Amino acid sequence: PRVSAAAAKQVVEQSRTSWHVGKVQQQWEEDEGVEVRVFINAAIGPIAKLAVNPQTGAILPYRVEVYTATLAMPRQTLVQKVKEVLPKLQIGAEAWLGGHGRYWRIPLFLEGTLVSTVKVDAATGELLIINTRKRYDD
């Protein structure tokens, strides 16, 4: 990679001022119920997603899924909970290469728990937009 892990981390840190809550996605799985994800947007578009417990609004650890038969919280309440969490997200000290070396994954932590990652292009150092249609953006 032309861009170092430290430089990629700095790109994510500098983008923080533009972070805001994006789309709330509710995905229904047959025989399981609803799963909720809330996207974090930067100036360029969606850069990360947080899984949210549909019953409590709690932010879930990275790649943990919780399904419920019904959505217990109004969408606006979920958005508000994520707004409150955004300033508390911490950028991890370590990064790892993904996509066969095409990008850096920068971890986001909430109270010591990994909750999401942000991708930075390893060649250009630009934030990468995630695919909002896929469950996992690998």
pLDDT in tens, 33-49: 777 889 999 999 999 99
Question: pLDDT: is 59 or 26 the higher one?
Answer: 59
Structural domain including 117 reads 5-121
| Residues 62, 82 contacting (CB under 8 angstroms) | no
Least confident of 21-25, 89-93, 115-119: 21-25
Type and span of the H or E element at 46? strand 45-52
Q: Note whether residue 138 is domain-resident.
A: no
Q: Please provide the average confidence, as pLDDT, over all residues in the chain.
A: 90
Q: Note whether residue 135 is domain-resident.
A: no
pLDDT of residue 32: 65
pTM over 0.75: yes
Domain count, the chain: 1
Between the CA of residue 135 and those of 39, 58, 111, what are the distances in Å?
Answer: 12, 19, 24
The yes-or-no verdict on residue 31 having pLDDT over 70 is no
